[in-house]
Structure 1
Amino acid sequence: MDLTITRVQCGAQDLLRAGGVIDLTTAPYLRYVVFGLFDSGRCDIVLDAAGIRLIDAAAQRVLLYLHRRAEEHGGELRLTNVRGAALTALEITGAAKTLGVYDEVVLDTDAGSAAEPLDLDAVRLTGRHWPLDVGADLTRLHTEPLDPAARRRLRDKIVNACLPAARRIARRYTRTCEQTADLEQVACVGLLKAVDGFDPTRGPEFVPYATSTITGEIKRHFRDRVWSVRVPRSLQQRWLEVSRARDELQSGLGRSPRAEDIAERVGLSRDEVLEALELNSSFRPVSLQLSSGNDEQTLLDQLGGEDPQLAFVEYRESLRVLLAQLPQRTQRVLALRFYGGLSQHEIAAQIGMSQMHVSRILRQTLDMLRRRLEDVPS
Structure 2
Amino acid sequence: DDMEDIVQVGTIGLIKAIDRFDLTREVEFSTFAIPYILGEMKRFFRDTGWAVHVPRRLQELRSDLAKAKELLHNKLDRDPTVRELSDHLNLSEDEVIEGIVAANGYTAGSLDTPADSAPAEQSRTVADLIGEEDPAMEKVENLQTLAPLMEKLNAREHRLIELRFGQELTQAEIGAELGVSQMHVSRLLSRTLSKLRAGMLTER
Structure 2 length as normaliser, TM-score? Answer: 0.56
**Letter of the aligned partner of 1:275 in structure 2?**
E
Q: 1:302 aligns with which of 130, 135, 139?
A: 130
Q: Is the 2:51–2:106 contact (alpha carbons within 8 Å) kept by the matching residues of 1?
A: yes
Alignment of 1:1-378 (within 5 A): 188-199=7-18, 203-204=22-23, 206-207=29-30, 209-288=32-111, 289-290=114-115, 300-304=128-132, 307-318=137-148, 326-327=155-156, 331=160, 351=183, 362=191, 366=195
Structure 2 SS opposite 1:262: helix
Higher-helix-fraction structure:
2
Paired residues of 2:9 and 2:44 also in contact (CA < 8 A): no
Structure that is richer in strand per residue: 1
* Partner deviation per Cα, 1:208-239 (whole Å, 9 max, x = no partner): 55223322222223322211111111211221
For 1:315 and 1:254, the matched residues in 2 are separated by: 61
Given that 1:226 and 1:283 are in contact with CA atoms closer than 8 Å, whether structure 2 keeps it comes out as yes
RCO higher in 1 or 2 (8 Å CA, sep ≥ 6)?
A: 2
2:191 match: secondary structure: helix
* Post-superposition CA distance 1:71-91 (Å, at most 9, x none): xxxxxxxxxxxxxxxxxxxxx
Structure 2: any 5+ residue segments left out of the alignment?
A: 117-123, 165-169, 171-180
Contact 2:13–2:39 (Cα < 8 Å) also in 1: no
Letter in 2 for 1:203: D
Q: CA deviation at 1:269?
A: 2.5
Assess if the C-alpha contact under 8 Å between 2:10 and 2:40 holds in 1: no
Once residues 199 and 287 of structure 1 are traced to their aligned partners in structure 2, the CA distance between those partners, rounded to angstroms, is: 43
Q: Tell me the secondary structure at the aligned position of residue 327 of structure 1.
A: helix
Q: C-alpha separation between the residues in 2 aligned to 1:329 and 1:276?
A: 54
Q: Is the 8 A contact 1:186 1:217 kept in 2?
A: no
Q: Residues 190 and 281 from structure 1, CA distance in 2 versus in 1: closer, same or farther, beyond 3 angstroms?
A: same
CA distance in 1, matches of 2:158, 2:58: 62
SS of corresponding position for 1:282:
coil
Which protein shows a greater Rg?
Answer: 1
- The 1-side partners of 2:91 and 2:20 are apart by 45
Change (3 A) 1:252 1:183: farther
**What is the CA-CA distance between 1:352 and the residue it aligns to?**
5.6
Distance 1:209 1:313 in 2: 67
Q: State whether residues 190 and 217 of structure 1, in contact with CA within 8 Å, keep that contact through their aligned partners in structure 2.
A: yes
Q: Does structure 1 conserve the Cα–Cα contact (< 8 Å) formed by 2:14 and 2:37?
A: no
Q: How many residues are matched?
A: 169
Partner of 1:177: none
Say if 1:290 and 1:282 are closer, same or farther in 2 by CA, change over 3 A: farther
Between the aligned residues of both structures, percent identity stands at 22
Deviation for aligned residue 1:299: 5.7
